[in-house]
Amino acid sequence: MTDLTSLTLAEARKGLADKTFTSLELTDAHLSAIEKARVLNAFVMETPDRARDMAKAVDEKIAKGEGGPLAGIPLGIKDLFATKGVRTTACSKILGNFVPTYESTITSQLWRDGAVMLGKLNNDEFAMGSANETSCFGPVANPWRRDGSNTTLVPGGSSGGSASAVAALLCMGATATDTGGSIRQPAAFTATVGIKPTYGRCSRWGIVAFASSLDQAGPIARSVRDSAMLLRSMAGHDPKDTTSVDIPVPDYEAAIGKSVKGKRIGIPKEYRLDGMPAEIEKLWSEGAAWLKAAGAELVEVSLPHTKYALPAYYIVAPAEASSNLARYDGVRYGLREQGKNIHELYENTRAEGFGAEVRRRVMIGTYVLSAGYYDAYYLRAQKVRTLIKKDFEDCFAKGVDAILTPATPSAAFGIGEKSGEDADPVEMYLNDIFTVTVNMAGLPGIAVPAGKDAQGLPLGLQLIGRPFDEETLFSLGEVIEQAAGRFTPARWW
């Protein structure tokens, strides 16, 4: 039998349906891969007993012909998703050993459809970061290395554990979240596929909140088809999240292989940055050429407010975070550091429980929302956000079906290269330059592996779609995937 962990989700579905192997065998293969890959630090909690119990139960269902669309498929869950009875920390010391008494809507839908949970995946603390270096469980290693080098690279963030685990064949897919790029940037750094659906497509209920008007969950997987399969189970209306939208979930998989003839693809000139590496530029033109060869039409478009997106994001996201994180006060959840009075208890708990990046965001957020500065910063950033959204609307109004951009301005970098005491946090923030606009506008965006840089590291392209038109992204994404081929890291762990 071929190594079960190297199958795609679609291949595993077939093997399970044909009874070539059982979910228990598939699950055991992944559990042993996880054990051998602890050096990657992708999992912060392994749940082997639960995984085997879930697999056995689903095997019985499959035998009776009652398996759901993800029956028997082992997945990893980002530690931002509340999992009933299983520790959920958002990779922050402040949540301590918090064990939720409820299950997030998204994970409950995955279990409803037959998926198996292998464990909880590492992420940046409260999903704040682009390198998975702010986690209280330590950094995650990217399974990819530069050709001929032993330097350990970051997997991107904040969903670094999800991307690393999927790329290293530790799980067949993973949940992730994206507030400013946290699905797409790690996908690009690890040659995996990541889609951030339209804001409102997936329920946020039971996901630890970072910036509620930007947060959106989605899958990271090894192929476009696999990500379509996962999104179908994750998406859907949920009365428990008032921002979730009540429209039917299409069969996303049906979009794979659909002709893209006549689709108009916008190439935004503002994404051509000064000093952008030539190889990113080349990748972008190659991607455009592949889509053209498949019958799409390329048009140059303008998104004039692009350059304000990152600064505006770093006002809106911290503002919402400072408000969302006010609940971690030492009284209700996790960590408690005593003090002489209640104020000191709050201060001591928050100073001890939050890491440096989270404290920075809370301070920025509190500042931009404060009485004297609210109009100058927060209100202005909200206006900029409206203009960014309008740029995209104007583009779509002219008949553009999707927009093609690079996913990131560079390939993965070394652990510590952009963090540490002396590092300028803006260096790290610049990673999200191509992805934050999409969150600001609430649009869907997919990152698809498209090539490698001169050092052998994967690079990704991003496709941005109309609201609730994830299907077009899957169709176009698969064209890129077919042309670029698939990329697997050489095993060193």
Residue 367 beta carbon to ligand GLN: minimum distance, rounded to whole angstroms: 16
Query: DSSP string covering 372-429, please?
Result: TTTIIIIIHHHHHHHHHHHHHHHHHHTT--EEEEES-SS---BTTSS-STT--HHHHH
State yes or no: is 158 an active-site residue.
yes
- Binding stretches for ligand GLN (CB under 6 A): 127-130, 158, 178-182, 210, 317, 432
Return the number of the residue (143 or 445) whose C-beta is nearest ligand GLN.
445
Give the nearest distance from C-beta 25 to ligand GLN in angstroms. Answer: 35
> Is 323 a residue of the active site?
no
Smallest gap from residue 180 Cβ to ligand GLN (A) = 3
By C-beta, is 48 or 425 nearer to ligand GLN?
Answer: 425
Q: Catalytic annotation on 269?
A: no
> Is the CA virtual torsion 122, 170, 73, 99 positive or negative?
negative
Among candidate residues 209, 202, 91, 228, the one with its CA nearest the CA of residue 157:
91
Q: Which of 23, 158, 227, 233 is catalytic?
A: 158
* Residue 213 CB, nearest approach to ligand GLN (Å): 13
Active-site residue among 78, 196, 263, 452?
78
CB 116 within 8 A of CB 67: no
Q: How far is the CB of 396 from ligand GLN (least distance, A)?
A: 23
Q: Which is nearer to ligand GLN, 13 or 201 (CB)?
A: 201
Percent of residues in the chain assigned helix, strand, coil, to nearest 5: 40, 15, 45
Which residue in 108, 162, 182, 223 is the catalytic one? 182
Give bridge partners of residue 119 from the DSSP assignment.
46, 76
Q: Which residue's CB is nearer to ligand GLN, number 72 or number 445? A: 445
CB of 129 to ligand GLN, least distance (A): 5
Q: Are 123 and 91 in contact (CB under 8 A)?
A: yes
Smaller CB separation from ligand GLN, 13 or 184: 184
φ, ψ of residue 406 in degrees (nearest 5): -65, 155
Q: Supply the minimum distance, in Å, between the C-beta of residue 234 and ligand GLN.
A: 17
Strand order from edge to edge, sheet including 74-78: 43-46, 116-121, 74-78, 173-178, 216-221, 193-196, 445-452, 458-465, 402-406, 264-268, 297-301
Q: Which is nearer to ligand GLN, 83 or 162 (CB)?
A: 162
Main-chain dihedrals φ then ψ at residue 403, nearest 5 degrees = -120, 135
DSSP string, 138-170: -PPPPS---TT----B---SSSHHHHHHHHTTS
Of 378 and 396, CB closest to ligand GLN: 378
Nearest to 394 by CA among 319, 313, 305, 312: 305
| CA distance linking residue 414 with residue 424, whole number of Å | 15
Nearest to 213 by CA among 184, 243, 183, 240: 243
Phi, psi of 310 (to 5 degrees): -65, -50
Which residues are catalytic, by number? Answer: 78, 158, 182
